[in-house]
Amino acid sequence: MSRYLTGAFAPLKREHTEHALSVEGRLPSGLDGLFTQIGPAPAGQPRRAFDGSYPWFMQDGLVCGVRLRDGRAAWFRNRWIRSRRVARALGETPAPGPRHFPIDTVNTNLIAHHGVLLALVESGCLPVQLSETLESIRYTDLNGQLPRGFAAHPKVDPATGELHALAYSPLRRWAEHVVVAADGHVNLAGRVDLGGRPLLHDIGLTDRSVVFFDLPVRFDVRRAAAHAFPYRWHGRHRSRIGLLPRAGGPVRWLAIEPCFVYHIVGAEEAPDGGLTVHALRYASLFDDGTDPLARPATLWEWHAEPGADYAVARPLDDLPHELPRTDPRRECRPRRLHYGITHDSSREQSGLLRFDRRSGRGEVRQLGPGVLAGEAVFVPRAPDGAESDGWLLYFRTDLAAGVTALVVLDAADLTGAPVATVRLPVRVPIGAHSSWIRSDEWKAMA
């Protein structure tokens, strides 16, 4: 059986609701919001469970969430996104609304914007609007404003409230720059000719540009026809960084050496046109049939001088990690710190990393053998506090005990005792991305 159906990935059998959760320690009263994780987890009988190419990335979307308020853990819920496939498995009606893509599985990220909670995926499908209890309300084109799909990794400019996304699809050889204003108005700001169908998972945002990587992992029609993960490494394809001006205009392309990047830590654009990008780099991915989640990614920097048409890359640290998160207040600004998750597959063990660019060193909190962490999210303590002044929230799973907890750490004391630990009623499977949704970001939050 595929490893993505056992251990930390083993899917849940049903949906759960639990109120008044047990808490060890003391939850900060300043944590008023919803901590979520979304990821692939089959709602019904897994297909190709004994196939070595079981497509975990393409499974049904499962959302798990814990509501924190008034120093209490008010509830836990897990709900599947009501796609057509999930609805068949559960004997229900699919969520209404347009799809704009043949496949309507949504399983990658959650955001709140203009008072609406949205579940996201890339490659062409529209977002799903969720209720205050994580139920699927509808697939949404934002009141008819999205003629095509959306993206899994949009970024918010905290100065303007604008949500920027680079929407792409294997049905098209171009991507679309979508800007959603703080009031929900959508501006289709322009198209980027990609000359093919690359996998564009993440973007960086500066005050002037949307920054993205165009790399050799490309859509493969034969793999898609075989119902396998439809992207693979095409080594002859050029590798480059694109700078798409937010004010409009042509993309500035920077040639780079071949590699692959899922997640960008941050981008900094100098007034004179210089650019520096930090991201987690794979030498290659999806090229030889090996497990893509077993490959290491390490922190690299790409720098381009003003007027240059190429960027020079250099490694910054050799500790493999993924799922980088930074202080959301500093999007579009230089950042000193980022957080990530390390993993030792030989011991099934995770660690939490804090990397300090000023010192060039990373600090790790090891969780012990058989203990795994989901994505860790930094939550600022105050609107104008220091970059390290806040909390780090993550789901921690003990494989031997089969239990998951929501852990709250003081971000300035990574290896110290938890501030609070919330015991969850079920094990949360390893997912894709976690999010912190403040209560004031979501009008309907209960």
For each of the chain's 446 residues, which pLDDT tens digit applies?
A: 888 899 999 999 999 999 999 999 999 999 999 999 999 999 988 877 776 678 899 999 999 999 999 999 999 999 999 999 999 999 999 999 999 999 999 999 999 999 999 999 998 999 999 999 999 999 999 999 999 999 999 999 999 999 999 999 999 999 999 999 999 999 999 999 999 999 999 999 999 999 999 999 999 998 888 888 899 999 889 999 999 999 999 999 999 999 999 999 999 999 998 999 999 999 999 997 777 788 899 999 999 999 999 999 999 999 999 999 999 999 999 999 999 999 887 668 899 999 999 999 999 999 999 999 999 999 999 988 899 999 999 999 999 999 999 999 999 999 999 999 999 999 999 999 999 999 998 765 55
pTM of the model: 0.96
Binding site, by residue number, is 153, 201, 263, 433
Measured CA angle at 325 (ends 324, 331), to 5 deg: 125
Task: Tell the burial category of 245 from Cβ atoms under 10 Å away from its Cβ (0-12, 13-18, 19+).
Answer: middle
Q: How many beta carbons lie within 10 A of that of residue 197, not counting itself? A: 21
pLDDT of residue 77: 98
pLDDT of residue 65: 98
Three-class SS state of 19 = strand
Contact 384, 330 (CB under 8 A): no
pLDDT of residue 227: 80
Q: Are strands 420-423 and 433-438 parallel, antiparallel or unpaired?
A: unpaired
Single-letter residue type at 39: G
End-to-end CA distance of the chain: 40
pLDDT of residue 445: 56
pLDDT of residue 224: 86
Sheet (strand 204-205) strand order: 204-205, 209-214, 240-245, 252-255
Q: What's domain 3-441's architecture?
A: 7 Propeller (2.130)
Instruction: State both tokens at 188.
Output: 């289709």
Quick one: which of 271, 276, 211 has its CA closest to 246?
211
Domains in the chain: boundaries: 3-441
Distance CA 320, CA 340 (A): 10
Distance CA 259, CA 190 (A): 27
Exposure letters 260-284 (e unless 16+ CB within 10 A, then b): bbbbbbbbbbeeeeebebbbbbbee
pLDDT of residue 283: 96
Binding site for Fe cation, by residue number, is 153, 201, 263, 433
Task: Tell the burial category of 66 from Cβ atoms under 10 Å away from its Cβ (0-12, 13-18, 19+).
Answer: buried
- In sequence order, the β-bridge partners of residue 442 are none
Contact 242, 190 (CB under 8 A): no
Distance CA 286, CA 261 (A): 12
- Residue 221 φ/ψ region, left for φ over 0, alpha for ψ in the -120 to 50 degree band, beta for the rest: alpha
Residue 440 CB contacts under 8 Å (≥ 6 apart), including other chains: none
Distance CA 224, CA 230 (A): 5
Distance CA 77, CA 63 (A): 8
Three-class SS state of 331 = coil
pLDDT of residue 344: 80
CA separation (Å) from 214 to 2, 158, 256, 361, 432?
31, 26, 10, 29, 22
Instruction: State both tokens at 1.
Output: 């059986």
Distance CA 120, CA 42 (A): 17
pLDDT of residue 346: 66
Measured CA angle at 261 (ends 259, 265), to 5 deg: 130
pLDDT of residue 178: 98
